[in-house]
């Protein structure tokens, strides 16, 4: 009998299948394992299986648990996938290898200064409020070009757009819209798709999928 696939192997196989259905290469999709709220002992097995890109929601949590893991595994990359306060910009620029939640002019200004001070330019996604939801972070659709211009003026390497579709809605139209906005603005990167919808996102062009609960197990009401 074949051994059952681990959650990581299962997710990777599903990404590869969705990519091939869309005429894409699986290597075009980066799996970001969202390890928020999970301790190092839950993360280490994924590193042992070869996962090298992880996502955290909060700067302080990442500061507490990742230095030892990264010392042991210097090739691991850490992405910030949650909201970022401007007063944490310096910490974020020093700690993370990619930021998915650039969503307002004040944060662009803070990150530009922080990257200059840190002497490193951290790739960023501009987060778009794709469903125009009042309770969610993200730049309004109409304001995307202006925010992109501000970020570039601040010296921030913007590599794409990110979104979180409305929870109760079919995600495909929102993913397609994000892909169109990115293409209209000359951006290749698309951070979209989570545990419940990453296959749809891959078929619609995602370059980064942010998967948490499907890898680590459910965390109650949290969705990742």
29 assigned to some structural domain: yes
pLDDT category at 64 given cuts 50, 70, 90 is very high
In 3D, which of 163, 197, 196, 158 has the Cα closest to residue 179? Answer: 163
Per-residue pLDDT of 71-121, as tens digits, reads: 999 999 999 999 999 999 999 999 999 999 999 999 999 999 999 999 999
Q: Looking at the predicted structure, is the pLDDT value of residue 203 above 60?
A: yes
Mapping DSSP onto H, E and C, the string for 106-151 reads HHHHHHHHHHHHHCCCCCEEEEECCCCCCCCCCECHHHHHHHHHHH
Q: Looking at the predicted structure, is the pLDDT value of residue 161 above 70?
A: yes
47 assigned to some structural domain: yes
Q: CB pairs under 8 A, 24+ apart, for 140-149?
A: 141/181, 144/181, 144/185, 145/185, 146/105, 147/102, 147/103, 147/104, 147/105, 147/108, 148/185, 148/187
Q: Looking at the predicted structure, is the pLDDT value of residue 223 above 90?
A: no
The 10 Å Cβ neighbour count of residue 102 is 27
Domain that holds residue 140: 7-216
Instruction: Give 5's DSSP letter.
Output: P
Per-residue pLDDT of 29-52, as tens digits, reads: 999 999 999 999 999 999 999 999
**What 3-state class would DSSP assign to 99?**
strand
Determine what percent of the chain falls in helix, strand and coil, rounding each to the nearest 5.
45, 15, 40
Instruction: Return d(Cα 125, Cα 133) in angstroms, integer.
Output: 19
223 assigned to some structural domain: no
Instruction: Give 89's DSSP letter.
Output: H
How distant is the alpha carbon of residue 211 from its chain centre?
Answer: 9
Q: Taking the model in full, what pTM does it have?
A: 0.94
Q: Is 55 exposed, middle or buried (0-12, 13-18, 19+ CB in 10 A)?
A: buried
pLDDT category at 219 given cuts 50, 70, 90 is low
pLDDT at residue 3 in the model: 63
171 assigned to some structural domain: yes
224 assigned to some structural domain: no
1 assigned to some structural domain: no
Number of domains making up the chain: 1
Q: What is the mean pLDDT of residues 6-19?
A: 97
222 assigned to some structural domain: no
pLDDT at residue 135 in the model: 82
41 assigned to some structural domain: yes
Instruction: Return d(Cα 13, Cα 124) in angstroms, integer.
Output: 27
pLDDT at residue 112 in the model: 98
Q: What is the mean pLDDT of residues 164-186?
A: 96
Q: What is the per-residue burial (b if ≥16 Cβ within 10 Å, else e) of 193-202?
A: bbbebbbbbb
In 3D, which of 72, 53, 15, 32 has the Cα closest to residue 202? Answer: 15
pLDDT at residue 222 in the model: 40
Mean pLDDT score across all residues of the chain:
94
Distance set, CA 58 to CA 21, 50, 113 (Å) = 35, 24, 20
Report yes or no: 130 and 171 within 8 Å, Cβ to Cβ. no
CATH of the domain at 48: 3.20.20.10
Q: Looking at the predicted structure, is the pLDDT value of residue 220 above 60?
A: no
């Amino acid at each position: 009998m074949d051994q059952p696939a681990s959650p990581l192997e299962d997710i990777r196989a599903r990404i590869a299948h969705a990519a091939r259905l869309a005429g894409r290469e699986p290597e075009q999709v980066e799996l970001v394992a969202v390890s928020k709220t999970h301790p190092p002992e839950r993360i280490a097995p994924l590193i042992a299986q070869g996962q090298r890109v992880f996502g955290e929601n909060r700067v302080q949590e990442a500061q507490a648990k990742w230095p030892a893991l990264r010392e042991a595994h210097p090739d691991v990359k850490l992405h910030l996938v949650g909201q970022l306060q401007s007063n944490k910009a310096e910490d974020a620029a020093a700690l993370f290898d990619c930021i998915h939640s650039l969503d307002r002019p004040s944060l662009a200004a803070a990150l530009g200064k922080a990257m200059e001070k840190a002497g490193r330019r951290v790739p960023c996604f501009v987060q778009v409020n794709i469903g125009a939801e009042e309770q969610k972070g993200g730049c309004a659709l109409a304001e995307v070009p202006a925010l992109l211009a501000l970020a570039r003026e601040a010296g921030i390497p913007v590599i794409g757009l990110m979104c979180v579709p409305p929870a109760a809605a079919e995600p495909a139209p929102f993913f397609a819209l994000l892909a169109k906005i990115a293409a209209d603005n000359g951006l290749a990167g698309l951070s979209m798709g989570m545990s419940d919808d990453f296959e749809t996102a891959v078929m619609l062009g995602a370059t980064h999928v942010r998967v948490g609960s499907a890898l680590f197990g459910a965390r109650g009401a949290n969705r990742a």
